[in-house]
Structures are given as C-alpha cells and as structure tokens.
Amino acid sequence: MRFSQKVIYQIYPKSFYDSNGDGIGDLRGIIAKVPYLSRLNIDMIWFNPFFVSPQRDNGYDIEDYYQIDPLFGTMADFDELVQDLKAVGIDVMLDMVFNHTSTQHEWFQKALAGDPEFQQYYYIRPAKADGTPPTNWQSKFGGSAWAPFGETGQYYLHLYDQSQADLDWHCPAVRQACANIINYWQSKGVRGFRFDVINVIGKDVELLDAPPAMSSKVLYTDRPIVHDYLQELNAASFGRHPHDITVGELSSATLANSIAYTQPDRHELSMVFNFHHLKVDYDHGNKWTDRQFDFMALKKIINDWAQGMAAAGGWQALFWNNHDQPRAVNRFGDVVHYREKSAEMLATVMHLLRGTPFIYMGEEIGMTDPQYHQIEDYVDIESHNAYRQLRAQGHGDRAAFHLVHVKSRDNARTPMQWDESPKTAGFTTGTPWLKPTNQATINVTDELAHGEIFSYYQRLIQLRKQLTVISDGDYQPLFLDHPQVLAYLRTTSQQQVAVLNNFFGRKTTVELPPEFVGATVLISNYGTTVAGNAVILQPYESIALLRDLNKGGDSR
C-alpha cells in the first residue's frame, strides 16, 4: 500500500481500556480491543508514551526510554501487542520525547550529582548577577522556564514542567543516545515514530533574554539547526528503513519550515502536525479564553497549508483531535443538536484532504468533552497551573473554572466510553483515573448497534484506499469567500473530487462549478443526491462529488 493511502489512529493508553481493574488503561487492555481496532481498517496506531515515568506529565516526562512503565504492563505485553496488531495489518508508532527527559532520568541524576559528562546533556546556566534566572523565558506550562539546579546556584532549562529538563542537542552524545533509542524500538518491530515538540530542540548555545513584548518562543522555535539534527537522526536511525513513518509535532511552526521538514529529498520527516487551525478560538493568541471560533480564519489556515504543502511537495498530518486538545466536535460543531452530523462533517474535511489523517480514539464514536463541575475533577498539570494563574490574574473561581473547562487537555483524556455503565463507561472494573460523564448517550456499544459515525469513518478510510484522487490528488481551494462552507477540489489527471462542508447549523446553498453537474456523489452524511448545479447543504452537511476527467461525466 502507498504511504499516502494510510490512516493512523491515536491511542492514549492510560484511557483506552483497563484490563486489571486499577483504573488505568494498559497494554493488555489494548490487546483485548484489537478486534475493535481492526474494524476501522486503520494502518498504524500512534501510542502516547508508556515508558517508565514519574507521570507528572502523563508519560511525557520519561525516566527510562527502554522500559515499559509497570503501570501499563510488561515488555512481554508490548511484544504481544505488536504481534497481534501486525496480524490484523496494523503497525505501531511510538512517541519519542526527545526535547526533554524527566529529572528522574539517570542522565539528569548523574548531572545533578556533579558528573560533567552528563551536565553537558542539559542546559545548565549560571544565574544573572542579581541571582535571578539566566533568561526571562517562560515555561509553556506557566512560570519561569528555569529551575534551580540542586544547590549549585545554577539553573536548568525546562520549557515544559519543572520535572521535564530540556536536553541540549548540541551535545553529540545526546543525539547518538536518541538514535539508539529509535533503533532499539525499530528492532522490536516498531514501524512509526512521533517526535514530541521536535522543532524546539535547536536552542542557541548562548541563551538570551527575549526583548520586551517579544515571546521567547522566537528564540528557540524552528531554528535552522533543527533541520541538521533531523537529517542526522534520520541517517542514524529511521532513515535506514525506508518504509518507516515519522511525524514531527511542531509548536508554532511556519509553513516554510514545515515544508522543509517533510520534503522527501531533504531526508528529515515523513510528515508534521501543526496547530494553527486549532488556535482560531483563542482570543489574541491566548489559549485560556472562551470565544466562538473564527470560521474565515480557519478556512484560510486550512487552505494556505494544504496549498503550500502541495505546491512544494511537503506532507501534512491531518487532525482535529489529540490528547492535548478539547474535542473538536465541541469547538467546531454542535454537540447539542447535531453531534453526529457535525462529527461526520469534521471527519470529511480532514479525511479527503491531501495528507495523512489521524483519528484520536473516541472520535469515531463522536465523543465529546466531559461535564465537570469542580477543578478537582481535573488531573492535568497544565490545567491546574492555568487555573492557579487565572485566579492570580484576578479571575473569580467560576470564571477560572469555566476557562479550564473549555480548554483543558483532560477534555480529550477521559476514558474511552465502551458502554453506558455509570461511573466506569465499561473502561474499568475499578475507579477510572479520570471521570467519564457522557457514556449514557455516547458509547461504543450503542454506536456500533445504532449509530452512524463509526460506519461513516469506515467509508472515509475506504475511500482513501480506493481512490488515487483522494490519496494523491492535487489540492485547489473552492468558494474561498463563502461564509459557511469550507470546500476544496482534489485532482489527478484522471479524476476530480469536489468536497463541500457546511460548518454551521443552518442550511446554505452553493453553485457547483458547471463541470460538476451530473457528477457522482462519493459520500454524503445526509445521503443527498444532486441534480442541477445548485446544492443545498443541510446543517453540518458534507458532500463529496466525483467526476471523471476523461469522459467528461460521472464515473468511478
């Protein structure tokens, strides 16, 4: 199968299925659900980290890259999982967190104990003359990005939590160690690697204050040396296996850099995630705000990236949801009146675009954000930090809670809802580590018996495998000025598809380009048929039309 025909599913292991009743999802739980996973006809599963970790940031703080955390199971469980998935045609992608390690990692512990070799692995810098941290950089999880390095009077850099110390990629031993980790997992049958916040690994040797009114991000994001590091890593590890798939998670990346990370002849990564389209409901770039999303901004971002990547031969990872994002159906759909239709419409937008679609667990049954009522319901460290900061900034308790409620990463991390069981959603026989709340109306059992979203996803996945125009077609925008519809064309020399998506809860009309009159309906979440050139799109309707360029009419 061609790389462009593949679809990747994401599992947050802690929340997928618990096999031993401790309230935490585990590898044997995933093994038990392989038959469910194989029904979707996905090609690869990206697993969030399950390596040994103190779990301050749910596994993104790694203590040992070579061992499975006992919380999730054993190496024997892992080997069995790889085999069972392979038997149904699914490969494994692991999450490589190489911007930082846990401060519990032996490298950091040795550095702390005074070993100069390991002190080179991290950014350890003296305080400023007045004793304050080396630079004014802010941690992405709140507060200064520097923490005291033991009793030395120095500081170490942590762009994320204080327990996540940034690795210094200038150190050749760090780069070799990362390549070794990849090679180890490759030898165990892993065929995909996701690289966490990979575009921030290239800090300068001399770290400087950000000028007033400038975010420190600019000083460490997408630095040119990141490309050198990726090329080196590629040559020393995954690049030796041409069929392996790699995806870089990019923080605030530019389109130009994203193209460069993914152009095949540069030998860096297969594809990248960018997050610009998921910031259209941020007020002035501030995540901890609540506002209606800006539809025209969303359209522009999706179009600019699809067009820019296509024109330059770059490749995108296509997604609405992941373990860090509130559920897209809450943000861009209508979970009260049109949950199913809006979930399907959002899926259509991504699955028919040029790139590789990623499905985040639960998306295929239309899972929504949980209904929580108190800050104690949340576990995520970023959410708790944000709540404290919002309170400190003067927000009242209710207002601060509301902002966490709409934007918390825990919105995506609630347990997979397997059935309607109160309190557990069929996820565990114990007490779930994070409360599910919506299982009475949204769960796998009901969805497979009476729902329409799961089967709609199956059809979308199938289309990518069947039609070259979906997997490899070129991209052109359509109806750029339409205030309700996001539309585009996909084209090969043989065929052309028009994809029309109504993002709102009211009907709208589009005038089809004349050449599409009489085209075949490829998929529609309303079962619409089209006669003539005016298409009335129902609330949250998606419709894709196919025409054959050789015959001038309709055909598959």
Ligand X SMILES: O=P(O)(O)OC[C@H]1O[C@H](O[C@H]2O[C@H](CO)[C@@H](O)[C@H](O)[C@H]2O)[C@H](O)[C@@H](O)[C@@H]1O
List residues binding ligand X (CB under 6 A).
57, 60, 97, 160, 196-197, 249, 251-252, 275, 323-324
Most distant CA atoms of the chain, gap in Å: 77
**Phi and psi for 26 in degrees, rounded to 5?**
-150, 175
Closest separation between CB of residue 359 and ligand X, Å?
Answer: 16
Residues with Cβ within 8 Å of residue 329, at least 6 apart in sequence: 335, 339, 342, 343, 346, 366, 367, 368
Alpha carbon distance, N-terminus to C-terminus of the chain: 20
Residue 368 · residue 405 · CB < 8 Å: no
CA-to-CA distance for 166 and 458, rounded, in angstroms? 40
Q: Is 364 an active-site residue?
A: no
Closest separation between CB of residue 283 and ligand X, Å?
Answer: 15
β-pairing, 44-47 vs 91-96, is: parallel
Closest separation between CB of residue 46 and ligand X, Å?
Answer: 11
Closest separation between CB of residue 311 and ligand X, Å?
Answer: 23
CA-to-CA distance for 180 and 70, rounded, in angstroms? 22
Closest separation between CB of residue 376 and ligand X, Å?
Answer: 21
| Closer to ligand X by Cβ: residue 57 or 244 | 57
| Closer to ligand X by Cβ: residue 139 or 525 | 139
Q: Is 294 an active-site residue?
A: no
The catalytic residue among 43, 161, 168, 196 is 196
| Closer to ligand X by Cβ: residue 121 or 160 | 160
Q: Which of 272, 283, 291, 274 is nearest to 332 (CA)?
A: 291
Residue 393 · residue 351 · CB < 8 Å: no
Residue 490 · residue 499 · CB < 8 Å: yes
Q: What count of other Cβ atoms lies within 10 Å of the Cβ of residue 68?
A: 18
Q: Which of 475, 478, 462, 481 is nearest to 556 (CA)?
A: 462
Q: Which two tokens stand for residue 149?
A: 């390095």
| Closer to ligand X by Cβ: residue 411 or 501 | 411
| Closer to ligand X by Cβ: residue 46 or 503 | 46
| Closer to ligand X by Cβ: residue 197 or 467 | 197
CA-to-CA distance for 473 and 492, rounded, in angstroms? 5
Q: Which of 380, 360, 298 is nearest to 331 (CA)?
A: 298
The catalytic residue among 249, 344, 364, 541 is 249
Closest separation between CB of residue 324 and ligand X, Å?
Answer: 4
The residues annotated with a catalytic role in the active site are 196, 249
